[in-house]
């Protein structure tokens, strides 16, 4: 079936610590994965993406890891800041980019 899910619905971290948000996907045919950040009352905002021919990609303070063997995706946020508090969704692309399936979301709380 088509499903992308998250292991932890909420994550609370101390400011300055690193955060890791995990995601499991089920469709082996998906070839493109994205992490989105959603703040209250706003639309999803692109954070970082990775294609299936890669296992790691780094951005500014964020790293995405892809393990195709176990169909697992993770988002690492370095030196988490209060502004990182939001809901984070993983998503997978299928159908040649015409269909994007979102996971359930993890709420990240950053304690000052």
Partner 1 sequence: EPEVTQTPSHQVTQMGQEVILRCVPISNHLYFYWYRQILGQKVEFLVSFYNNEISEKSEIFDDQFSVERPDGSNFTLKIRSTKLEDSAMYFCASRGQPTDTQYFGPGTRLTVL
Residues of this chain that bind partner 1 (CB under 8 A): 32, 34, 36, 38, 42-46, 49, 51, 89, 91, 93, 95-105
Closest by CA position to 89, among listed 30, 40, 23: 23
CB of 11 vs partner 1, minimal distance in Å: 16
Cα 75 versus chain centre, distance: 5
Please report how close the Cβ of residue 16 comes to partner 1 at its closest, in angstroms.
29
- Smallest distance, Å, CB 26 to partner 1? 14
In the complex with partner 1, the residue whose CB is nearer, 83 or 96, is 96
Q: How many helices (H) and strands (E) does the chain have?
A: 0, 11
Query: Which one, of 61, 62, 77, 80, lies nearest residue 16 by Cα?
Result: 80
Nearer to partner 1, 69 or 98 (CB): 98
Would you say 36 and 45 are in contact if contact means Cβ atoms under 8 Å apart? yes
């Amino acid at each position: 079936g088509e499903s992308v899910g998250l292991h932890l619905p909420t994550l609370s971290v101390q400011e300055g610590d690193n955060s890791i948000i995990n995601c499991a996907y089920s469709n082996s045919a998906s070839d493109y994965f994205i992490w989105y950040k959603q703040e209250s009352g706003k639309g999803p905002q692109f954070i970082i993406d990775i294609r299936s021919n890669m296992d790691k990609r780094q951005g500014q303070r964020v790293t995405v890891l892809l393990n195709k063997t176990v169909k697992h995706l993770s988002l690492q946020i370095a030196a988490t800041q209060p502004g990182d508090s939001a809901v984070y969704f993983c998503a997978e692309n299928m159908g040649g980019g015409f269909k994007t399936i979102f996971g359930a979301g993890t709420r990240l709380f950053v304690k000052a």
